[in-house]
C-alpha cells in the first residue's frame, strides 16, 4: 500500500471516530497494510474501547516494536495488562513509560498529531497502583511521594487522594488515557493528497524590461541586439545550491543527521556518497537521505516548459542502505587523515559498532579489537575521557553486562550479528576526579519547530548543552524540555556569566 493510500485511509478512519462510528473506523484501520506505530496505537485504543484486551495488547506490541521510545504506547499497554490483572507486566510498562519521559514533567504529543499530554506524575500514580496490587505498599508510597516532585497544580489533587488511600493500604483509581483521542495524520500531508505543483512559480527578481511581470520557468527573451540565441537560464535556478531531485518514497529518519522527506518533495543534492547516501537540502535544512529514494529532476527550459512533475511511483521503497563514515549532512567529507585510516581498514571484515547514547552513532573497529581500541574510538566520538564512559551489552548496565578493561572481548565480539553489534553507553560528568562544568548557551534568535525531536526556545533563553550531534546541530535542555537545535541560533556563555 502506498504512502498516499495509507494517509487517506488513516484520515478517513479518524473522521469515523469523530462521528462516533467506531466499528467502521476499526474496519478501515485493520485494512491498512503495514501500519506505522501511530496507526497501531490507534487500533489498540479502539480495541480497548471494545474491551477486546487480547487484540489491544497485540496492537500496542506492534506500536512499541516500531517505536520503542513512544511513552504513551507503553502507558496504554500497561493499562491493558492492568485490566487483564497481569500486574507485574503492567508495572514494567508503566516504568518504561516514565523512563521514556527522560526526566521531563510531561510530553505534549500535539506535534505528533495526538492532542494529549502524558504527565510524569500520572505515570507514577499508575506505577504506585501496580505496586499496591502486588502488595508492595512501601514502594507504592515511595512512588507517590516521587510523583509530588513532578506535580502540576492541576494534578495535585489526584496525588493527594492516592497518597491518602495508600497510607490506609486501600487501592485507588488508575489514571486512564482517553481512548477516543487518537493520533491523526499530519494535516499538511492530508492537504497535499491531491496533485500539486511542488515547484510553484518562479518570481522575477530583476529585469531590464520596465514593469516585467512575467512569472514561470520559461526564460526571459533576449533583450539586447545580437543576444544569445539559446534561452537564458533563470537566475532563480542558478542561485540554488545542489542538483534538484524528486523524492520517490517516504523516508523516516533513524538518526539525528538524517532528514525526513515524503514523495513529491524536491530536494537539492549536495553530495552523493559511495554508500548510496546523499547529503541534501530541503526547506533550508540539511541532512542525509538514501540516494535510491531520489530521482534526478531535469528542468529543460525549452521543451518542458509547460509540463508538470510526474507523480511519484507507488511501488515499494528500496532497502535502506547501510551507513558508512565519511559523508555528513553539511556535504563535506571527513578529514584526509581519518579517510586514509578508514581506507586502510578492510571494510568487509571490520566490525560496525552501533552505540546507543543520548543520540545514536556508529564506529568501525578491526575484528577482535581489544577494549582499549574500542573505548578510544568512542572516547574520540564523544569528546570525553575513557574514564568517564561506561559501556554495556544491555540498556541497563549491570555487573554482568558492563564492558571494561578486564572484560574478555572474545565473548563480546561473539555476540555480533555478522559484522554488526549494538552497545549501550552512559557517561559521568567528571574528569580527573573534578566536577565537569556545564556548558550553557544563550539564544540569539527564537527557534520554533514542529518536529518533536527539536528543542524550541525564544531569544534570550538559556540552554544547557547535553551533547554535540555534529558541527551544525546540538542537543540541549531549556525550560524543562530536551531536544536538538541548530548551533547557529545560539552563542556560548560562561557558567558564572548567567
Q: Is 107 contained in some domain?
A: yes
425 lies in the same domain as 360: yes
Do 48 and 112 fall into the same domain?
yes
DSSP for residue 327: B
Distance CA 391, CA 407 (A): 11
Query: Backbone dihedral region of 423: left (phi > 0), alpha (psi from -120 to 50 degrees) or beta?
Result: beta
What average pLDDT score do residues 289-315 get? 62
The answer to whether residues 56 and 116 belong to one domain is: yes
pLDDT, residue 30, reads 93
Between 257 and 51, whose confidence is greater?
A: 51
Domain hosting residue 396, numbered range: 344-431
Contact 293, 248 (CB under 8 A): yes
Alpha helices in 200-317 (DSSP H): 235-238
**Which range, 66-75, 329-338, 347-356, 473-482, is most confident?**
66-75
Q: Which residue has the higher pLDDT, 129 or 285?
A: 129
Domain count, the chain: 3
Kindly tell me if the per-residue pLDDT of 482 is higher than 50. yes
**Model pLDDT, residue 498:** 41
Which residue, 130, 66, 58, 59, is CA-closest to 98?
130
- Same domain, yes or no: 357 and 490: no
**pLDDT over 70, % of the chain:** 73
Label residue 81 by pLDDT band (50, 70, 90).
very high
Residue 37: inside a domain, yes or no? yes
pLDDT tens for each residue of 265-288: 888 898 888 778 899 888 777 889
Average pLDDT over residues 26-48: 91
**Tell me: the pLDDT tens digits for 371-419?**
999 998 888 887 788 888 899 988 888 888 899 888 888 888 888 887 8
The answer as to whether 133 is a domain residue is yes
Q: Which pLDDT score, from 0 to 100, does residue 205 have?
A: 56
Using CA atoms of 482, 466, 68, 284 in order, give the dihedral in degrees to the nearest 10.
70
Assign residue 419 a region (left: φ > 0; alpha: ψ between -120 and 50; beta: otherwise): alpha
Between residues 366 and 343, the one the model is more confident about: 366
Same domain, 23 and 118: yes
Residue 281 within a domain: no
Q: Which three cell numbers stand for residue 326?
A: 565519511
- Of 431, 450, 469, the residue that ends a domain is 431
State yes or no: pLDDT of 102 exceeds 90. Answer: no
493 in the same domain as 421: no
Query: How many CA atoms are closer than 13 Å to the CA of 161, on its beta-carbon side?
Result: 10
| Bridge partner list, 289 | 278
CATH code, domain carrying 15: 1.25.40.10
453 versus 365: which is more confidently predicted? 365
Does residue 478 surpass a pLDDT of 70?
A: yes
- Domain assignment of residue 476, yes or no: yes
Last residue of a domain, one of 152, 167, 182: 167
Q: Are 284 and 296 contacting, i.e. CB atoms less than 8 angstroms apart?
A: no
Residue 195 has pLDDT above 60, yes or no: no
Would residue 478 count as lying in a domain? yes
Q: Are residues 348 and 475 in the same domain?
A: no
Residue 469, SS3 per DSSP: coil
Mean per-residue pLDDT, 439-455? 81
107-127 confidence digits (pLDDT tens)? 888 888 888 989 999 999 999
What pLDDT was estimated at residue 472?
A: 77
Q: Which pLDDT belongs to residue 203?
A: 57
Cell of 59: 496492537
Determine if the pTM surpasses 0.75: no
- pLDDT confidence band for 150 (50 / 70 / 90): confident
Any domain includes 30: yes
Tens of pLDDT, residues 196-252 = 555 555 555 555 445 555 444 444 444 444 444 444 444 344 335 678 888 888 888
Task: Specify the pLDDT at position 429.
Answer: 55
Pair (393, 472) in one structural domain: no
- Among 407, 431, 455, the domain-final residue is 431
In this model, does residue 75 exceed pLDDT 70? Answer: yes
Q: Which residue has the higher pLDDT, 303 or 157?
A: 157
Average pLDDT, the chain: 78
User: What pLDDT sits at residue 355?
Assistant: 84
**Do 28 and 163 fall within a single domain?**
yes
Amino acid at each position: 500500500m502506498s504512502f498516499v493510500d495509507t494517509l487517506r485511509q488513516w484520515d478517513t478512519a479518524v473522521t469515523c471516530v469523530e462521528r462516533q462510528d467506531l466499528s467502521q473506523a476499526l474496519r478501515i484501520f485493520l485494512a491498512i497494510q503495514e501500519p506505522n506505530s501511530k496507526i497501531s496505537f490507534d487500533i489498540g485504543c479502539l480495541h480497548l474501547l471494545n474491551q477486546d484486551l487480547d487484540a489491544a495488547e497485540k496492537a500496542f506490541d506492534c506500536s512499541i516494536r516500531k517505536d520503542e521510545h513512544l511513552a504513551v504506547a507503553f502507558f496504554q499497554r500497561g493499562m491493558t495488562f492492568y485490566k487483564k490483572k497481569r500486574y507485574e507486566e503492567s508495572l514494567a510498562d508503566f516504568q518504561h513509560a516514565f523512563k521514556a519521559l527522560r526526566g521531563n514533567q510531561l510530553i505534549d504529543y500535539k506535534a505528533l498529531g495526538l492532542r494529549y499530554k502524558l504527565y510524569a506524575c500520572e505515570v507514577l500514580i499508575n506505577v504506585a497502583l501496580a505496586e499496591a496490587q502486588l502488595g508492595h505498599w512501601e514502594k507504592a508510597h515511595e512512588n507517590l511521594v516521587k510523583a509530588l516532585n513532578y506535580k502540576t497544580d492541576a494534578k495535585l489533587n489526584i496525588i493527594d487522594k492516592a497518597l491518602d488511600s495508600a497510607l490506609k493500604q486501600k487501592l485507588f483509581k488508575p489514571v486512564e488515557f482517553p481512548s477516543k483521542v487518537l493520533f491523526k495524520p499530519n494535516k499538511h500531508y492530508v492537504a497535499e493528497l491531491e496533485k500539486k505543483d511542488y515547484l510553484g512559480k518562479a518570481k522575477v527578481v530583476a529585469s531590464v524590461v520596465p514593469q516585467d511581470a512575467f512569472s514561470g520557468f520559461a526564460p526571459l527573451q533576449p533583450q539586447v541586439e545580437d543576444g544569445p540565441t539559446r534561452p537564458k537560464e533563470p537566475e532563480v535556478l542558478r542561485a540554488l545550491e545542489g542538483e534538484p531531485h524528486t523524492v520517490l518514497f517516504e523516508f523516516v529518519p533513524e538518526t539525528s543527521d538524517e532528514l525526513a522527506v515524503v514523495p513529491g518533495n524536491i530536494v537539492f543534492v549536495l553530495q552523493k556518497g559511495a554508500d548510496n547516501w546523499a547529503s541534501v537540502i530541503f526547506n533550508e535544512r540539511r541532512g542525509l537521505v538514501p540516494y535510491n529514494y531520489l530521482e534526478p529532476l531535469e528542468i529543460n527550459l525549452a521543451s518542458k516548459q509547460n509540463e508538470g512533475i510526474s507523480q511519484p511511483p507507488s511501488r515499494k521503497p528500496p532497502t535502506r542502505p547501510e551507513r558508512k563514515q565519511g559523508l555528513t549532512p553539511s556535504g563535506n567529507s571527513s578529514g584526509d587523515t581519518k579517510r586514509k585510516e578508514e581506507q586502510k581498514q578492510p571494510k568487509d571484515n571490520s566490525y560496525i559498532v552501533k552505540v546507543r547514547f543520548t543520540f545514536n552513532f556508529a564506529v568501525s573497529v578491526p575484528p577482535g579489537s581489544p577494549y582499549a581500541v574500542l573505548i578510544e574510538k568512542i572516547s574520540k566520538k564523544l569528546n570525553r575521557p575513557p574514564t568517564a564512559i561506561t559501556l554495556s551489552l544491555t540498556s541497563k548496565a549491570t555487573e554482568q553486562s558492563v564492558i571494561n578493561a578486564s572484560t574478555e572481548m572474545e565473548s563480546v565480539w561473539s555476540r555480533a550479528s555478522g559484522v554488526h553489534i549494538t552497545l549501550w553507553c552512559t557517561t559521568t560528568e567528571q574528569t580527573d576526579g573534578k566536577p565537569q562544568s556545564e556548558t550553557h548557551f544563550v539564544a540569539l534568535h527564537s527557534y520554533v519547530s514542529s518536529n518533536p525531536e527539536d528543542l524550541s526556545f525564544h531569544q534570550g533563553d538559556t540552554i544547557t548543552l547535553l551533547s554535540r550531534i555534529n558541527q551544525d546541530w546540538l542537543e540541549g535542555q531549556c525550560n524543562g524540555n530536551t531536544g536538538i537545535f541548530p548551533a547557529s541560533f545560539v552563542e556560548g556563555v560562561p557558567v558564572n556569566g548567567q
